[in-house]
Structure 1
């Protein structure tokens, strides 16, 4: 069975940190079980860190800067690094999303997982599937059931 290679948009980590009940959190558990490979570039990891350490995010989750660092350090153990050789900008309406798309393209990802599918409509030009966490989780479950 082939292990899928995907890029997780930052909003997946935010959603997972805010609720243990959703598909985003389930995807982090699946990552821990090596059911897929997450890809990340340095700019994307820095984005993860910046967003997860926002004061409003810390206040909502009750996490501290230290626990957020611990989470990111643990996450990095399950991530395959991607070096950005080609920049494809501009492709998207939101410049902050460009690094997510570039990581997926440079890492030969098989999917980009996001809660904002409509933000990545341009990905279809690159034949890159853009999936919600629920859709990707369903896909993973189907593969493991077969």
Structure 2
């Protein structure tokens, strides 16, 4: 990849990527670690990441320290944006409005999520909503080669 792909990564993609090493969400996280995808992050989204990781801690088999490492690592790889304008309500789930607002504030074209239907109004803001597997296919077609992967399957470097 020449220029990194920039997007907002919904919480469900982070959790799915940590839960299973074989899915598209995990590949998304690997590409984040490799700098091929640059995620945008707001304070609200970071708190949502933390809340959900702690709630799902047992099923993810992560310790408190590992959750802290994941969040610290993600923060170090992300670009932060402050949200100055609230566009609420826009979505069927008001808890998702901040994700759309971040995409608008960051002027990015995509939100990566498993819940595409929850973001039905995103297109009116010029934001595309895409599933992880669709994104992988799109990026591979655009780049015409599969990105290098120096990370062993199932192991993210910011989870020790």
Asked if TM exceeds 0.5, the reply is yes
Displacement after TM superposition at 1:78 (Å): 0.9
**How far does the alpha carbon of each residue in 1:64-122 deviate from its partner, in whole angstroms, 9 at most, with x for none?**
11110111101111100011111111101111101111111101112000000000000
**How far does the alpha carbon of each residue in 1:5-41 deviate from its partner, in whole angstroms, 9 at most, with x for none?**
1000000011011100000000010111111211011
Displacement after TM superposition at 1:3 (Å): 2.6
**Distance (Å, rounded) in 2 between the aligned partners of 1:140 and 1:94:** 29
2:35 corresponding residue in structure 1: 34
Structure 1: state its 5+ residue gaps. none
Structural mapping, 1:1-146, within 5 Å = 1-54=2-55, 57-145=56-144
Structure 2: state its 5+ residue gaps. 146-160
**Distance (Å, rounded) in 2 between the aligned partners of 1:144 and 1:22:** 20
SS in 2 for 1:134: helix
**Distance (Å, rounded) in 1 between the aligned partners of 2:20 and 2:94:** 27
| Contact 1:35 1:140 (8 Å CA) reproduced | no
Displacement after TM superposition at 1:143 (Å): 2.5
2:148 corresponding residue in structure 1: none
CA RMSD of the aligned region, Å? 1.1
Deviates more, 1:21-30 or 1:34-43: 34-43
**How far does the alpha carbon of each residue in 1:35-76 deviate from its partner, in whole angstroms, 9 at most, with x for none?**
12110111001100011111xx11111111111011110111
What TM-score, normalized to structure 2?
0.86
Displacement after TM superposition at 1:4 (Å): 2.3
Name the one with the larger helix percent: 1
SS in 2 for 1:92: coil
Structure 1 outlier segments of 4+, above 2 Å:
1-4
| Contact 1:117 1:132 (8 Å CA) reproduced | yes
